[in-house]
A and B are shown apart, each in its own frame.
Chain A
Amino acid sequence: MSGEAERLRRLQAQVFDTFRDETAEGLARLETQLLALDADVDRAHVDELFRVVHTIKGGAGSFGLRAMAELAHAMEAHLDQLRKGASPTPAGVAALLEGADALRALLDAPGDVPRDTYAALCARLAEASAPNASGASGGSGPSATPARPRRVAVDLVPGLDFVASGIDLALLLEQLAELGPTTVDVDARAVPPLASLDLGALALRWRVTVETTTAPEAIELLFAWLGDTCAVHARAADDTRPADAPRAAQAGASSKAAQKAPARVDASVRVPIEKLDDLMNLVGELVIAGSALHEVERGDLNAPDRRARAREALARLDRLTRGMHESVLRMRSLPVGLVFNRFPRLVHDLATRLGKDVRLEVRGEGTELDKTVLERLGDPLVHLVRNSLDHGLETPDARREAGKSATGTLRLTAEQSANEVVITVEDDGRGLDPQRIFRRAVERGLVAADAALSEAEMQRLILAPGFSTAEQVSDISGRGVGMDVVASTIQALGGELSLHSVVGAGLTVTLRLPLTLAIIDGQLVRFGGRTWVLPLGAIAECARVEPGALDAVLGRGLVYAYGDESLPVLDPCAGLGLGGVPPGGRLVMVLEAQGERVALLVDEVLARQQIVVKSLEQHLRAVPGLSGATVLGDGAIAFILDVPGLRRACPVAHPRRVASARVGAPS
């Protein structure tokens, strides 16, 4: 019994969590949309805003979060005016943004919040919409629109998990009652005979007829957050179609569901399907490995190979478990966009407050980073952006004086290079003033007054704890806490921070973050009796060595004829400590890195596959010629070759070590 109660409680918490997640996402979307509202009004845009707020209102109402529902209602009323063609005012947008903040605060607020907490804000929202809604009485909500109330039939069809989800039907009905006078009918026709009654499944349906001005679609939206837990169909009751025209209703519902589907994938499934497929495959193999183990257990107890087979099965289980661990870790990587998303709002607010005109450019939002790294990256980035806005970018007047465009540009970029993610925060402001930094450093006794500082030393000063050159301490930045904290946070994540400043032209802060889980396209090759990985991007050509393609130079080094170029032929075995093994002479790979080409002798070219790059240097010193390692499908470790490093680490192949060389070598 108590187990059942516990399960119920967990389910309820789950449903609430879903609501919270979706609301948080809705709010993020709302913010972006609101900011775009500044620029141009477009009907679809406003509809989207309305839909978001409406859904939040619906969810809040159903969970009994009165203050939240009330506020969302006021925001919705304001948006409704915009929907009706009123043009957005700065005050209105500001109030809506404030509303979004308040909703977020309410979402996180524990326990009960008095219903009228945000009464003032609600009043402001109503006021902001008033001038445009001259005819409307009071301007509060859909009920105030001067349409004639119509009868709307709302069917509530609970899903299989309705009871378990703990959603209070009374609250749903109450919410409908707020739209207008209601009559409720219960449809018990689907209730099975007592013998086959499942207490967990609700077989009752409700038909609520509401006399309201709210459109049926809007009512459905109000309950959209319920998802499959309880299907809600609303339609005008005045058309006297028979109550149960199941086919038509179903078709309508499914097409509606199809329309909503993409949005839902975005909203709740954050894991790309191929990552799930990977995990699914592993789970499938796990089942097979498990049954192999069962077989051993069931088999002949005295079979001589029983132990060996058990060990093998266990080893496989082990490998799969590790694979699953990795797979789950990979699911943890999230697009940087999740952090970048908050910046349009931040930049908008700060720029307005500081009287600056700033255009924000964001690139590479899709670049993925581990969730933990991403979470810890937020604050440092906020700090850097604030710094740029506060100290870097000038006011429009100052910019014009300096001969720059009045609008400053702040650029946030993320990109993945080999095994790191590089994030840059770049502005075209005034840059760092070396004299001011120097003066401040002397004032604070950090350097001697006659010292000459290199750029690197300057950078170290800026990153020193408590160092700030801001003349005024604002609430935005200038307290001198920050750059050092930013630098140490980045370092703690195993990354690096560097500054590049040009006086008068801007500052670029570059964060380099290691990718613990970088995935590259790799080409497996074999030489020296082992398997190695070449990054696919570095391979220009792969060819069989034709007679005459390899020539000896000075009788000592081999070159490969590639077009009319003669490329040095590297002996990977000699370079990677496998000196005793002669390199293969059958296949040659032309590799390209940093504008240079080299040829590499290999024995075999194997599969191309996605390779999870693992750091070697986490527990070992750097190894020349290797950029990392990976674990292959069979559990073996293969090293990833680093092409520029390989060039330095490997000698040019000696003709005597390569069998096929003699064919083409001049006599």
Chain B
Amino acid sequence: MSTEPTHPDKRRRADAPKSAHDRFLCVRLEPELYALPILAVHEIQAYAPPTPVPGMPEHVRGVLNVQGAIVPVVDLRRRLGLPAQPPPPRCPIVFVRVEARVAGLVVDAATGVVDLPPDVRRPPPEVGAGIDGGPVAALARHPCGLIVVLDVERLLLRDAALVGAAAFVPPTAEAQP
């Protein structure tokens, strides 16, 4: 199982052009690996303390000024319901964009760019309510371990703290290709 995925991967490299849709930024939330679609990644910055916003839930750490826009910074660990753990001192903030909306995600580290072709990405099994229907788009086996592929759209647009209740996007069955 650990060697299998590398084979088709290598073959693809030889005869099929890689699609940007299959490229992901791999980030670490100790001890797990997560992937964000590279096309949704807007900018990566070193951590700067965000200005807290009154009345926001715990996972929204505050706002930062990103090129003149006031952008929320989300603690990805809390957003995903992972056990709280202080981020390491030099953690990055990954700014992702969906449509016109931008939000920063605090992660422990950005480890690099990985290619995860469609046949490597598998729909997530039902592992309790935490994964199913949540911001998890797929699971992918990779030589460096299991990577949880995140659905940035759901991460941003289905967060009541980021999108007003009126503009809340109703859940739809948007399956990843």
- A residues sitting closer than 8 Å to B (CB atoms) are 322, 325-326, 329, 530, 575-578, 614-626, 629, 631, 635-639, 649
Contacts and interface: CB of A to CB of B under 8 A. Distances in A.
Interface of B: 51-56, 60, 63-65, 67-72, 100-103, 160-165
B54 A576 contact: yes
Contacts, number: 75
19 contacts: A322-B67, A329-B68, A530-B51, A578-B54, A615-B70, A616-B53, A620-B72, A620-B162, A621-B163, A623-B53, A623-B55, A623-B56, A625-B55, A626-B53, A631-B68, A637-B65, A637-B70, A639-B53, A639-B54
B50 to A, nearest CB: 8
Nearest to B63: A637
B58 to A, nearest CB: 11
Contacts of A617: 164
A325 B72 contact: no
Contacts of B67: 322, 325
A616 B54 contact: no
Q: Which 6 A-B pairs have the closest CB atoms?
A: A576-B54, A577-B54, A637-B51, A621-B164, A629-B70, A620-B72
Contacts of B162: 619-621
A635 B51 CA distance: 11
A203 to B, nearest CB: 49
B65 A635 contact: yes
Given A577-B55, A617-B164, A637-B65, 19 more contacts: A322-B67, A530-B51, A575-B54, A614-B68, A614-B69, A614-B70, A616-B53, A616-B63, A616-B70, A618-B70, A619-B101, A619-B103, A620-B162, A621-B160, A621-B162, A623-B54, A626-B54, A636-B51, A637-B70
A626 B53 CA distance: 10
A620 B53 contact: yes
Contacts of B71: 619
Contacts of B163: 621
Given A326-B68, A637-B64, A621 B165 contact: yes
Contacts of B65: 322, 631, 635, 637
A403 B68 CA distance: 55
A593 B60 CA distance: 30
Contacts of A615: 70
Contact of B70 (A329, A619, A625, A635): A619
A635 B70 CA distance: 12
A475 to B, nearest CB: 37
Q: Which of A325, A530, A638, A639 has the most CB of B within 10 A?
A: A639
A310 B36 CA distance: 32
B55 A624 contact: yes
Nearest to A618: B69
Nearest to B65: A631
Nearest to B164: A621
A325 to B, nearest CB: 6
Contacts of A616: 53, 63, 70
A649 B64 CA distance: 23
A620 B57 CA distance: 12
Contacts of B101: 618-619
Nearest to B160: A621
Contacts of A620: 53, 60, 63, 70, 72, 161-162
A200 B67 CA distance: 42
Nearest to A326: B68
Contacts of B51: 530, 636-639
Contacts of B160: 621
A615 B102 CA distance: 13
A618 B99 CA distance: 11
A449 B28 CA distance: 62
Nearest to A621: B164
A185 to B, nearest CB: 59
B28 to A, nearest CB: 24
A616 B103 CA distance: 12
Contacts of A578: 54
A614 B71 CA distance: 10
